[in-house]
Structure 1
Amino acid sequence: MSDAEELVALLAQLPDAELAAVVEAATDGKAGLAALHAVAQSLAATLGHAPDVIDVTPDTLPVEGYPQSGAVPASGQVGVGPVVTGIPVPPAGIPTGPSIGGYTSGGVPTFESVRDKVEQRYGTSQGMGELDRQTSVGRSVEEQWDARAKAARERLEQIRKSVHGNDSE
């Protein structure tokens, strides 16, 4: 069983609300997945697992000459109040190593992901070359290349003969 299959199996065991929260957190800030993020966000809110938002106000000292807006309750201060639980922590058993997504936790691509990309591009280029040779235009270009290569070999042979002919004199 591959890492992706294990991850899918573990995600399938999550309740709907937690799965929507995981998808929402995983797609946050990814422009290509903005639509999926919006859907996951609305599902998480609908299923009752919307992230908790805490009103945070800075702890500032009053400045003379500026009117004060009133006392700020202690529960709104940084470091006081409930812990934010908006970002779910994956349950035990879900791999968090460098194999997820092909990047390490520092954002560096893994050797395996780079090798896979190179192999995929090489295979694509080989396939395109084979398809190109099967078309009439591709065969025509190949025939032109072969004719030029033959002409170049013949010209090189003429040059060699003329150089060798001058050496003997």
Structure 2
Amino acid sequence: MSDPSAGDPGALAARLAALPDEQLLAVLIVVTAGRENLAPLYETATRLVSETGQSGPGQPVIPGTRQPAGYGASPGVGGSAQVGGGTGGLSGLVSGSGNGVGGYAGNGVPTFDAVRDKVERRIGTAHGGRELDRTSPAGRGADQQWEAREQAARERLEQIRTSLHEGEGS
């Protein structure tokens, strides 16, 4: 559903004015990230957040939420444009070099190499699981059952063909 006041700047300004300071700063950080002309506003908002000890771009969105190791950008480097900081774009993903930590470029985008490695690991795990299934006693039993059904189906098909040909000869 769309907000009826989305196109009305006055209504949007009124909604923003009703926000508590910490929420308004968070909104300002998100909407000004990666916009060159608004860089001073972004820097001021991030400075105010850090001075007041409120959660900022380097901290989880929900206070107390633990981030996995290697997640996000390294200290001193902005995050993605979507979540506060950095320039955004696909440069880190396309280049594959990525100066970030844990498979992420400095702007928070996963590197091509990291994505490819993750896909290859998942494919390898799937193939390995299939091989283990086939070499286990249960897997061998399932293969034998499949072969027995296939053989029975071939024999039944041959019986049907033979009975059809017998009817033609009379």
Q: Same fold (TM over 0.5)?
A: no
Query: Aligning the two structures, in what range does the TM-score lie when normalised by the shorter sequence?
Result: 0.3 to 0.5
Structure index of larger Rg:
1
Q: Report the TM-score when normalising by structure 1.
A: 0.37
